[in-house]
């Protein structure tokens, strides 16, 4: 926890000094007055104000406790750890048989992560923390699966010369796909639809079409046809 102790003639001055040192705004800190200033008599025995400033932080140990309690209630054995970087927090649950906490394509994991964020940020004004939740390295595995899927579907889109729309995904999952294909020579990606049914569409690039000599004009309707494709390769659960 970031904190500092300051002394100055008045409490208010001490607070201002502290805010500068912490680089924080007034509403982001909590102030504890350690010593009230007293002016003394004729300048003798005068005491400065002494205060301590804390930067208010979301209570991470509370969140850890919450996850541990959920495990206990569900009769699951697991450990909850968290690591903190500058602006995000990562909770990791490790243990046995945690599949039910991950759910179909991470559905339960995402719900739990969402609730964790809501509870963690309850009553916090201004600064909000966002935390990521992972169980048994699921996220990394899912990222890998999505990258493979992206590559496969890009291949399909460019050889079959048509747009392919993927199943609906969460924003962070779509980001993985966009990033995996952003420098792809033959396809472009975009998202369409409204949350939570927003999905990625992979289309062959126009220039690639011209090169192959099978322009969109000669095959009307072909490039706008979309097929829904279920990512069967992501059946890790």
Partner 1 sequence: MKELLEYLAKALVDHPNEVNVSLVEGEKSQILELRVNHADMGKVIGKQGRIAQALRIIVKAAAVKEGKKVMVEIIE
Q: Which residues bind partner 1 (CB under 8 A)?
A: 66, 69-70, 73-75, 100-101, 103, 107-108, 111-112, 114-115, 118-119, 122
Alpha carbon 66 to chain centroid, angstroms:
19
Report the nearest approach of partner 1 to the CB of residue 118 (Å): 6
Report the nearest approach of partner 1 to the CB of residue 221 (Å): 35
Pairing state between β 3-8 and 78-84: unpaired
- CA–CA distance, 29 with 195 (Å, rounded to integer): 36
User: 61 or 183, CB closer to partner 1?
Assistant: 61
User: 34 or 100, CB closer to partner 1?
Assistant: 100
Nearest CA-CA partner of 216 in 202, 201, 229, 204: 204
Report the nearest approach of partner 1 to the CB of residue 195 (Å): 9
Judge whether 53 and 15 are in contact, CB under 8 Å: yes
User: 51 or 112, CB closer to partner 1?
Assistant: 112
User: 31 or 119, CB closer to partner 1?
Assistant: 119
Report the nearest approach of partner 1 to the CB of residue 132 (Å): 15
Q: Which residues of 112-121 are buried (b: 16+ CB within 10 A; e: fewer)?
A: bbeebbeebe
């Amino acid at each position: 926890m970031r904190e500092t102790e300051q002394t100055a003639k008045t409490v208010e001055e001490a607070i201002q000094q502290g805010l500068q040192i912490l680089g924080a705004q007034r509403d982001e800190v909590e102030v504890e007055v350690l010593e009230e200033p007293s002016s003394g008599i004729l300048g003798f025995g005068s005491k400065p104000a002494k205060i301590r400033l804390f930067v208010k932080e979301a209570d991470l140990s509370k969140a850890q406790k919450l996850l541990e309690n959920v495990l206990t209630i569900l009769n699951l054995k697991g450990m909850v750890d968290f690591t903190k970087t500058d602006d995000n927090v990562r909770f990791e649950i490790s243990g046995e048989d945690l599949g039910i906490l991950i759910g179909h394509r991470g559905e339960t994991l995402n719900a739990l992560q969402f609730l964790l964020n809501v509870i963690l940020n309850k009553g916090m004004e201004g600064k909000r923390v966002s935390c990521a939740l992972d169980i048994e390295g699921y996220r990394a595995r899912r990222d890998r699966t999505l990258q493979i899927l992206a590559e496969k579907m890009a291949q399909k889109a460019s050889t079959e010369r048509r747009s392919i729309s993927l199943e609906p995904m969460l924003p962070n999952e779509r980001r993985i796909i966009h990033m995996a294909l952003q420098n792809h020579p033959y396809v472009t990606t975009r998202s369409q639809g409204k949350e939570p049914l927003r999905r990625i569409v992979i289309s062959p690039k126009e220039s690639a079409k011209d090169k192959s000599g099978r322009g969109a004009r000669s095959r009307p309707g072909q490039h706008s046809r979309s097929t829904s494709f279920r990512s069967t390769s992501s059946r890790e659960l």
